[in-house]
Structure 1
Amino acid sequence: MAAERDRFSTATRLRAFGEQAAARVYQAQTRRLTPRPRRVRLTGRAAVLALVICSLVVALAYPLRQYIQQRSEIADQRRQAEEARDRVAELRDEKARWQDDAYVQRQARERLLYVLPGEIGYIVPEPDGGAEGDGDAEGDERLENRGAAGDRPWHEKMWEGLDRADGAGTPQ
């Protein structure tokens, strides 16, 4: 009984309790210091799901790109159609203006230098040195381009063409 009493004594129990506590602390430190093997979190289902999502993205990429491209082409076509409608409206307005006799008469006076019967037409040449040196950039440009074919009156162009045609037929 003495052995049994010794087994249940307080000192024995405290010593056993201390040893158990020390063993637990040692195990906890060992567990904390040793790296745990990482668990693979990717399961078979997750891998199949990732594969399905990737295949859907690849399968939908080309049609989506085509859709976006076609939408931009449609927007361009609509813009061009709107520009064409605006141009048609401008041309209709111009056609309506040309139906007006007063507009035709004014254009003939300005462009072709026509005059009405009984009127006297004058052509006043620009002075050679008048616009030079006054700092007017438009005037300087007009003087430089005055000899160009697009800036001369129609009758001068016509006479020049006749002179050239007449000169081309004669041998030199």
Structure 2
Amino acid sequence: MPPKDRFSTTTRLRLLGEQAVVRASERVYRARPVRRSRLTGRAALLALVLCALIVALAYPMRQYVSQRAEIADQRTEKERSAARVERLRDEKARWQDEEYLRRQARERLHYVTPGETSYTVRDGSADAERDRDGDGAADRPWYDNLLDGVDTADR
């Protein structure tokens, strides 16, 4: 006589059905590709290190750029100063020339050489200015006007 099974036919069918469902789901599971996260641990660590480097280098780079701009400004200022020094040297050399000195004295201070006669031509603007100011500055010598200007500035 064959050994007696411990389970009934119904129980066996139910177990076989469950096993079939499990096998079918395993086949479906194997058929689908396994989806992994694109961000692995190494990639996350690399991203973290890159961010740390960017943050660490941001301030020194800003300082570097601002210092380069300041250096450029200083060079421009140096070139301007050198050009000004050159102009002043030229002017100093001109003032060393006796003829230039005489010409400037004649133009600016209205000097005349011995034997010359000085003429002052006045146009209407000086009279209008004197009438407006009321102090007659055009009629006075230049040095009085200069000293008045100094006194006015001193006050």
Q: Given the two structures, how large is their TM-score scaled by the length of structure 2?
A: 0.62
Q: 1:160 to 1:43 in 2, by over 3 A?
A: closer
Match of 2:106 in 1: 109
Return the letter of the residue paired with 2:87.
E
Answering whether residue 46 of structure 2 is matched by residue 60 of structure 1, we say: no
Which residue in 2 is equivalent to 1:83?
Answer: 80
State the match for 2:118 in structure 1.
121
Residue 112 of structure 1: CA displacement?
0.2
Cα separation, 1, equivalents of 2:82 and 2:140:
34
Provide closer, same or farther for how the CA distance between residues 65 and 159 of structure 1 changes in structure 2, counting only shifts above 3 A.
closer
- Give 1:1-172 correspondences, 5 Å limit: 39-127=36-124, 155-156=141-142, 158=144, 161=147
Compared CA separation, residues 153 and 88, structure 1 to 2 (3 A): farther
Amino acid of the structure 2 residue aligned with 1:88: V
Q: Normalised by the size of structure 1, how large is the TM-score?
A: 0.56
Q: List gaps (5 residues or longer) in structure 1.
A: 1-26, 129-142, 166-172
What is the letter of the counterpart of residue 115 of structure 2?
A: G
Q: Distance in 2 between matches of 1:71 and 1:123?
A: 58
The structure that is helix-richer by fraction is 2
SS at match of 2:124: coil
Structure 2 spans left out of the alignment, 5+ residues: 1-27
Q: Distance in 2 between matches of 1:80 and 1:73?
A: 10
Aligned-pair identity (%): 55
Cα deviation, residue 40, structure 1: 1.7
**Equivalent-residue separation in structure 2 for 1:125 and 1:101 (angstroms):** 30
Q: Deviations over 1:123-147 (max 9, x none)?
A: 110135xxxxxxxxxxxxxx77xx7
Could you say what secondary structure the match of 1:56 adopts?
helix
After TM superposition, the runs of 4+ consecutive aligned structure 1 residues lying more than 3 A away are 36-39, 159-162
Does the residue aligned with 2:141 lie in a helix, a strand or coil? Answer: helix
Alignment RMSD? 3.5
| Paired position in structure 2 for 1:19 | none
- Select the structure with the greater relative contact order (CA < 8 A; seq sep ≥ 6): 1
Partners of 1:88 and 1:153 in 2: how far apart?
Answer: 40
Q: After superposition, give the CA deviation of every residue in 1:24-52 in whole Å (9 maximum; x if it has no partner).
A: xxx8xxx99xxx99632101100000000
